[in-house]
Amino acid sequence: MADAASLHAPQPDGATGVLVLADGTVIWGKGFGATGSAVGEVCFNTAMTGYQEVMTDPSYAGQIVTFTFPHIGNVGTNQEDIESRVDGAVGCVVREDVTQPSSFRAERTFGDWMADNGKIGISGVDTRALTRRIRLSGAPNAVIAHDPAGKFDLSALLVKARQWPGLEGMDLAKEVSRTAQEEWRGGAWALGQGYASADDEGRPHVVALDFGAKDNIFRNLVQAGARVTVLPGQTALEDVLAHNPAGVFLSNGPGDPAATGEYAVPVIQGLLERDVPIFGICLGHQMLGLAVGAKTAKMHQGHRGANHPVKRLEDGVVEITSMNHGFAVDNSSLPDTIEETHVSLFDGSNCGIAIKGKKAFGVQYHPEASPGPMDSFYLFQKFVGSLG
């Protein structure tokens, strides 16, 4: 079941899941989670833990995640590790069959949780071979499908994969952003205590624009000392300013930053003109770059995992970071108004910028994900500390 085959090769006995790539490659496996089919871009994630956080990260909207770690699902799922209440990844591909959970925190099996959340999984796949394929040829468009009876119309699935336009030029942020204002409550999580509560009195007010945010970002802002109001990503400049923010946070999110930037970049430019402090992560970082004249580009395979080394150029310190992005700020396009602050030690790509003369900066990685585990929390402290 692990081997790739052509569209017309015989279906292996017992195959109840399939991944059909847009080039006609067929990868068989055992389906779990939801039934049906879903289309997206196939990427890979190298993290050894945190699969529930990955699957609920809105930045993975429109994507099928191949986990390079073979044992996914073995600690089950729980309500505390969900990163968002909106859809993230449409499905996942794993090596070993999902087992019964072995964790005192588990509340449900991974397969049952996937089914309830409409996400399709396939196990029994040679994920190392699929990852090598993505590294060599780039992230392909594909359809993932699960049918307990093993009945698939491969030709129809191939057509669906080929007709999907891909992430380049796609604004997915508008599909995963909040649609209403929310006064955020809750700080950092602690074992046996859950999420901390905080008194808003005397805290600087941060307005966070949600382009597909992970909730743990807001918790880190609270932990760093802020009061947080979350607004939809398409909020107009005058409505943002009406909250009289001490600073504005630009969240992560899925899709092409240039597409989302059509409505977000003018807002960011208006904030910069008024010298409002800004902190951006991932998609927010990319659109901050666009707002001051840099360019973004689709990456060959992207960066996704919890073990990415990033060098801080100011002092040479290396942070171990969590990443999830298929687009990046082109560091060859940075205008004189931008200072490059961080770079990837894997490929030299841009991982941080600061706007000269402004209290505005962004990073490509996810400092809230704690892979270091606390290497990057200083960024939240830096932002909140600058608000006065």
C-beta separation of 77 from 49 below 8 A: no
User: What token pair was written down for 331?
Assistant: 């560091």
Catalytic residue, chosen from 41, 53, 83, 368, is 368
Give catalytic status of residue 83 as yes or no: no
Decide whether 4-163 matches 173-385 in CATH topology. Answer: no
Domain ranges of the chain: 4-163, 173-385
Distance CA 36, CA 31 (A): 10
Strand 189-190 vs strand 194-195: parallel, antiparallel, or unpaired?
antiparallel
Give catalytic status of residue 146 as yes or no: no
Higher per-residue confidence, 87 vs 339? 339
pLDDT digit string (tens) for 4-32? 777 778 899 999 999 999 999 999 999 99
Quote the pLDDT of residue 1.
40
- pLDDT higher than 50, residue 333: yes
Quote the pLDDT of residue 371.
82
Residue 2's pLDDT band (cuts 50, 70, 90): very low
Quote the pLDDT of residue 254.
98
- pLDDT higher than 50, residue 301: yes
Q: What is the residue-averaged pLDDT of the chain?
A: 95
Catalytic residue, chosen from 285, 325, 342, 366, is 366
In sequence order, the β-bridge partners of residue 312 are 342
Give catalytic status of residue 314 as yes or no: no
Write the single-letter amino acid at 364: Q
Distance CA 285, CA 344 (A): 15
Q: What is the mean pLDDT of residues 270-275?
A: 98
Task: Write out the CATH class of domain 4-163.
Answer: alpha beta
End-to-end CA distance of the chain: 59
Quote the pLDDT of residue 3.
60
Element (H, E) at 41: strand 36-45
Q: What is the mean pLDDT of residues 101-122?
A: 97
Neighbours of 4 (CB within 10 A): 16
- pLDDT higher than 50, residue 332: yes
Quote the pLDDT of residue 200.
83
Burial (CB count within 10 angstroms: exposed 0-12, middle 13-18, buried 19+), residue 35: middle
Quote the pLDDT of residue 21.
97
Neighbours of 307 (CB within 10 A): 13
pLDDT digit string (tens) for 248-263? 999 999 999 999 999 9
Q: What is the mean pLDDT of residues 56-70?
A: 97
Catalytic residue, chosen from 53, 282, 308, 325, is 282
- pLDDT higher than 80, residue 388: no
- pLDDT higher than 90, residue 137: yes
Share of the chain above pLDDT 70, in %: 99
> What's the whole-model pTM score?
0.96
User: What token pair was written down for 354?
Assistant: 């600061």
Domain 173-385: which CATH number of 3.40.50.880, 3.90.226.10, 3.30.479.30, 3.40.50.620: 3.40.50.880
pLDDT digit string (tens) for 273-295? 999 999 999 999 999 999 999 99
